[in-house]
Amino acid sequence: MKFYVCIKQVPDVNAPIQIKEGELIQDTSRMILNAYDASAVEEALVLAEQHGGEVEVVSVGPSKVSETIRKALAMGADKAVHIQTSSDDEYDSATYADILAAYFKDKEYDVISCGKQSQDTDAGLAGSMLAEKLDLPYATNAVGLDIEDQKLVVKRQGDAGQEIIGLPTPCLVTCSNDMNDPRIPSLKGIMQSKKKPLETVELSELGIDESNLSSKTHVTGYQEKPEREAGKKYEGEPEEIAKQVAKLLDEEENVI
């Protein structure tokens, strides 16, 4: 089976963030592989190990995303494609989906997978957009994957419970990070990754003129969230503090 995994480089949400005059100041040295995408890579590797097949990762972005691509190769992906953009500007989900759709248009594959959302924007749109553009059956928010008779069996988390869905191939699935613990590349994996094929593709080769790429949505600025003030800490005898707080919740907060 041929698996393609779409991966994105994102800033580490655990790193300190500053906002200056509405602009986001990020520590760009702390760019990581989106955790949801890492789970998608892990799952594809496991399925390919179990059922045979090849895993290729695809990423869209400026030159610096190559580090993230190397990470996926070091995890064990067989090949990679870097669709290069010149600008560092964030596109919206639809623009990424357009670029990926142009790339996949004449490719052969069984499964395209990606993270269910991006850790930084939490938009969660690109996967199902890409599926629609490629007219593929899809499932989002997968928490478990399996293959049966050339079909992808997806366990997804829905509103009311978990749903088991059968997807005929070719198909697309978006992955939650609840499904596995992505492997940490071994030293051997890191060494091997340097020799693995990494193809670069220019947008013009996909028939896209970068200067014409315009998003329908725009981020116009960033703001601090109104800080939640730390309340009071109650330390001491458990009995005492339990009684004290229960009383306050009843009398001061009126929430009991």
Ligand X SMILES: Cc1cc2nc3c(=O)[nH]c(=O)nc-3n(C[C@H](O)[C@H](O)[C@H](O)COP(=O)(O)OP(=O)(O)OC[C@H]3O[C@@H](n4cnc5c(N)ncnc54)[C@H](O)[C@@H]3O)c2cc1C
Least distance (Å) between residue 144 CB and ligand X? 17
Site size with another protein, rule: CB under 8 A = 81
Considering beta carbons, is residue 95 or 119 the nearer one to ligand X?
Answer: 119
Q: Does residue 177 interact with ligand X by CB under 6 A? A: yes
189, exposed or middle or buried, with CB in 10 Å at 0-12, 13-18, 19+? middle
Q: Which does 138 bind (CB under 5 to 8 A by kind): ligand X, another protein, none?
A: another protein
User: Side chain identity at 123, as an amino acid letter?
Assistant: A
Least distance (Å) between residue 65 CB and another protein? 19
Among residues 140, 142, 145, 185, which is the contact residue for another protein, using CB under 8 A? 140
Helix crossing, 35-51 with 66-75: angle to 10°?
Answer: 40
Three-state DSSP class for residue 147: strand
Among residues 61, 76, 127, 185, which is the contact residue for another protein, using CB under 8 A? 127
CA–CA gap between residue 162 and residue 173 (Å, rounded): 15
CA–CA gap between residue 108 and residue 44 (Å, rounded): 16
Considering beta carbons, is residue 52 or 161 the nearer one to another protein?
Answer: 161
Contact code string over 111-130 relative to ligand X, x by CB under 6 A: --------x-----------
Asked if 38 and 177 touch (Cβ cutoff 8 Å), the reply is: yes
Considering beta carbons, is residue 132 or 199 the nearer one to another protein?
Answer: 132
Instruction: Tell me the CB-side half-sphere exposure of residue 245, using CA atoms within 13 A.
Output: 12
Going by C-alpha positions, the residue among 166, 37, 11 that lies closest to residue 112 is: 37
User: Side chain identity at 232, as an amino acid letter?
Assistant: K
Q: Does residue 180 interact with ligand X by CB under 6 A? A: no
Among residues 6, 35, 125, 208, which is the contact residue for ligand X, using CB under 6 A? 35
Span 139-168, contacts to ligand X by CB under 6 A: none
CA–CA gap between residue 214 and residue 98 (Å, rounded): 11
Among residues 72, 112, 165, 208, which is the contact residue for another protein, using CB under 8 A? 165
Looking at residue 254, the DSSP 8-state letter turns out to be -
Instruction: Tell me the CB-side half-sphere exposure of residue 31, using CA atoms within 13 A.
Output: 18
CA–CA gap between residue 7 and residue 184 (Å, rounded): 16
Among residues 23, 168, 197, 202, which is the contact residue for another protein, using CB under 8 A? 168
Considering beta carbons, is residue 108 or 237 the nearer one to another protein?
Answer: 237
Least distance (Å) between residue 56 CB and ligand X? 23
Q: Which stretch binds another protein (CB under 8 A): 45-53, 67-75, 188-196, 238-246?
A: 238-246
Among residues 73, 131, 147, 203, which is the contact residue for another protein, using CB under 8 A? 131
- Rule CB under 6 A: which residues touch ligand X? 35, 119, 177
